[in-house]
Chains A and B, each alone.
Chain A
Amino acid sequence: MHGVRRLYQQADLTDTIALDGIDLTIEPGTFVSIIGPSGCGKSTLLRLISGQEPTDAGRITVCGLTPTEAAEAKAFGFVPQSPALLPWLSVLGNVTLPHKVNRRHDRGLPDLEGMLREVGLGESIHKLPAELSGGMKQRTAIVRAFGLRPDVLLLDEPFGALDEFTREALQEQLLQLWEQTRATVVFVTHSIAEAVRLSDRVVVMAPRPGRVTDVIDIDLPRPRHQEVITSPEFHAFELTLRERLRDAFSGSGLQR
């Protein structure tokens, strides 16, 4: 991303600068988290990367393509905050449907049932979303995205609505799926621990205008088992990140 800028016109016809001067390079195959106060443009950034919206200035390149071309080539998988499943389709139907649209560029059906079993949904393959818990729905949404075999996975606070235990289990499964596919992951989160645990890099953003204030490399060894998570190094990263975030928050005028 080079000098990316995004404006939104408000009701009174003035512009909000949702994003300004974003320069960011994400190496293929890395796991990058984006963290920052509410309204700093994290969701907007994901929409720009996936070509849902145009930039007002600057340039985004995804694997050498424009965002729209990359979306056309089915380079993306997207996991929103709410699972966004179709209530009339079973779990299997929900993870299969993305393969039935834009067929020309589909990368082929992987063993979706196997993937569902792997994340503990083996018993629920033929259930409707209404019969699932929140965590099971979000797992379905993750398999739906990974099943596309995308080059880039975009996740917008996928675990925001889950309790701590479910969240940790899903983080584990997300990492497992990622190890297998080695897609590039862009992961929006509000949790410092989550960002440190999952990422190779954490991008800190601040609002008004939405901008990148810090990029922190998390060079902890993988897999990050319990001993890594409880290590002083892990804790040190959490503290650093907390500090950088505090700066971002103080600039935002929000109370925590």
Chain B
Amino acid sequence: MSPVSPVIERGTAISRIAAIAVAVIIALLAIAPQALSAGAIDRMTALFIYVILAAMWNALAGFGGLVSVGQQVFFGLGAYLAIRLADAGLNPFLALFASGIIVGLVSWPLSLVMLRLRNGEFAIGMWVIAALTHLLVNLDRLVQGETGTSLISLNVYDAGTRRVTIYWLALASMSALLAILFGLLRGSTGAAIRAIRDNEDAAASVGVRVTGTKRLLFVLAAFGIGIAGALWLATSITFQPKTYFNVQWTAYMIFMVLVGGIGTFEGAILGAVVFFLIETWFGGTGVWYLVGLGAIAVLFSLFLPRGLWGTIEERFGLRLLPVGYRVTFPGNTPANDGTAPSLEGTTQLQEKA
């Protein structure tokens, strides 16, 4: 028997099709405002923001093991700093992105303290930081406590232009952030991130820079969520601290990620879409909507702990946007792309036998 030299496979035929499909979908979304009503454009903008939130929380918790219940701090800061920058005379659209960058910069020193905390301490610590930041922002005269303020400088644009511009900015931000995230998670840093999630000590023992890698992820998530907060401000114009620094934002992120499938790149996106649909259909039902969300989250964690995408991936071996590595043995089996999952299937069978 001649030795077959194994090959490392990063994508499959299906994933290559998926990549093209993603590009086509983004292109279609870019021209969609021509066909959409004003209300629909606003809803789609919200969807893009949800996707950013879900993807960022998933990267942090699902890939990096950094479970935070205080991510609303970056959402609130993103909005608040955008108001501040616009008040200082910066073009309001530019202010949205400048704000995201400042949120990223601020998260750097914050990470020095927070990343010393482990697991539950980190999760709660982040919530405390969010509550403190909320109080501090309330002290700003410009914000006038809980009365809030608004991004008035956006009002110089007419409503139609403003709406479509924000839609495009949200779409572009979402696409760029997903691309950055995908690149990061698919690279060797992504492998380090997952290793840290699974066992920090072991990761350090094989040469992974644990703290630096976590910091990178933490800052990227802060930046992304900061942008999301600023975009949300742009769509709603008004800024009331308690709306933005509300823990509900993190609850939504967790919901989307758990339902979609934690730790899979596709899962966060799917979860955001599911959340968006539920909100669209049932959002008007007040308290029952929230009860329903809670019930769904509980049902998922009980019966589908891997979420929708995690379950699909496991059952059908389907990987649309894979970040992992597959070892294949060309020549051993017909070199098609169904090889990898079926290989795994047989080894699992062998184990059961």
**A and B together in one complex:** no
Chain B contact residues, CB within 8 Å of chain A:
none
